[in-house]
Amino acid sequence: MSRTELSALGEFGLINRIAKSTKINNKSTLKGIGDDAAVIRIGDSCQLISTDMLVENIHFDLSYTPLPHLGYKSVAVNVSDIAAMNGTPEQITVSLALSNRFSVEAIDALYEGIFAACEDYKVDLVGGDTTSSPSGLVISITVIGRANPEQIAYRNGAKKGDILCVTGDLGAAYMGLKILQMQKVEFLENPQMQPQLEGREYVVKRQLRPNARMDIIHELADNQVVPTAMIDVSDGLASEILHIATQSGVGVMVYEDKLPIDRETYEVAINDFKVSPSICALNGGEDYELLFTIKQEDYEKLKTHEDISFIGYITDDKEVNLATAGGQKVPMEAQGWNHFKGKQS
């Protein structure tokens, strides 16, 4: 029998392979694999379900991650997937695999963050599972949400002429990760060293304690805007734009000079790492902002919103291009985060 390495397929290749072999047996399953959450019809309403697993030393490093932040982030990244469907989260289950390396106080600290997120996003912790692990901590959270069928925003609804929008700012969480990793190396070389976070507080906070954009979901509803397509930015903007383009069967034109980048992200990128802030925004990850498309007629309703940037538009030529600040047009490539190739995701 031949053996194929997982790295030959990559994470998305593997998921596509599983999806192809999946058979749907129930009419109530409106959307299975392939979006931010599954969609299940229940009467006139729809239930949304999504799950995310965080594994120690793949997704987080406890040498610089405070447990309350980790608990908060584990919930926020799940809530973000419900937001990305234009839904409202209602319940979560939390499953843990733990070793005796962890004390009761450590688990209390983790749950302090989980409960803070439950409060912020108004979700109820309704169950889970607890088991042992040989050494590392594994946190798996499932979130259940709700939406009206007409209001759900799938990844595949973008149409020619729609405007591409993104919330907040991008690239900060990636710069925060780089700062934390750099300071860990420096600390191992010189244990007397104190963390140097001045001027880097924002990017580090974006990495350790991201916020799911439920505020935007409520504001879209208040303004009677239903995005034609939506996804959350977990793997990096370029990767998410390509998901919308591929699944909607459209092209996209994105403008580099419209990418929202915070001043601190910009300075950390240039001064600490000598990397292009745009590359951080396009290919960093874990921003947990919302990327969505709207019909042109809805632009008026959102154009003055301080936390939404209009970064491009949908075309019908199936090409995804970046118009660079220098006036060139280059094909956009995803360099998202891929577990099997050794990047965090």
Q: Which residues bind ligand ADP (CB under 6 A)?
A: 15, 18, 33-36, 52, 81, 234
List all residues 6 or more positions away from 8 whose beta carbon is below 8 Å from its beta carbon.
none
Q: How far is CA 344 from CA 169, 285, 286, 325, 328, in A?
A: 20, 9, 10, 29, 31
Contact flag: residue 235 with Mg ion (CB under 5 A): no
Which CB sits closer to ligand ADP, 32 or 195?
A: 32
Cβ 154 to ligand ADP, closest distance in Å? 11
Applying the rule CB under 5 A, the residues between 184 and 223 that interact with Mg ion are none
The nearest distance, CB 18 to ligand ADP, in angstroms, is 5
Cβ proximity to ligand ADP: between 95 and 276 the closer is 95
**Continuous H helices in the chain:** 6-20, 67-83, 104-121, 172-189, 201-208, 214-222, 237-248, 263-267, 273, 277-283, 299-302
Helices (H), 21-103: 67-83
Instruction: Select from 207, 262, 234 the least CA-distant residue to 338.
Output: 234
Closest distance of CB 62 from ligand ADP, Å: 22
Identify what 8 binds: ligand ADP, Mg ion, none; CB under 5 to 8 Å per kind. none
Which CB atom, from 15 or from 270, has the smaller least distance to ligand ADP? 15
- Please count the residues of this chain forming the interface with Mg ion, following the rule CB under 5 A: 3
Question: What are the residues facing 46 on neighbouring strands?
Answer: 41, 147
Query: How far is 262 from 268, CA to CA, in rounded Å?
Result: 10
Q: How far is the CB of 246 from ligand ADP (least distance, A)?
A: 13
Q: Which does 6 bind (CB under 5 to 8 A by kind): Mg ion, ligand ADP, none?
A: none
Asked if 345 and 77 count as a contact pair (C-beta separation under 8 A), the reply is no
Least Å distance, CB 288 to Mg ion, is 9
Q: 93 or 276, CB closer to ligand ADP?
A: 93
User: Which of ligand ADP, Mg ion, none does residue 33 bind (CB under 5 to 8 Å by kind)?
Assistant: ligand ADP
Among 35, 56, 81, 298, binds Mg ion (CB under 5 A): 81
Rounded Cα distance between 215 and 29, Å, is 28
**Binds Mg ion by CB under 5 A, chosen from 11, 162, 169, 232:** 232
CA distances from 109 to 71, 103, 131 (A): 8, 10, 18
User: Residue with the closest Cβ to Mg ion?
Assistant: 36
Question: Judged by CB under 5 A, does residue 35 bind Mg ion?
Answer: no
Residue with smaller CB distance to Mg ion, 238 or 253: 238
Give the residue carrying structure tokens 């709207």.
Answer: 294
Q: Which amino acid is present at 94?
A: V
Task: Please report how close the Cβ of residue 222 comes to ligand ADP at its closest, in angstroms.
Answer: 25
3-state SS of the chain: helix, strand, coil percent to 5?
Answer: 40, 25, 35
Nearer to ligand ADP, 156 or 276 (CB): 156
- We find the least distance from the C-beta atom of residue 252 to ligand ADP, in angstroms, to be 19
Distance (Å) of CA 73 to CA 163, 317, 325? 30, 38, 34
Measured in degrees and rounded to the nearest 5, phi and psi for residue 291 equal -110, 125
Residue 36 engages Mg ion in binding (rule: CB under 5 A): yes
The CB-of-108 to Mg ion minimum distance in angstroms stands at 29
User: Which positions touch Mg ion (CB under 5 A)?
Assistant: 36, 81, 232
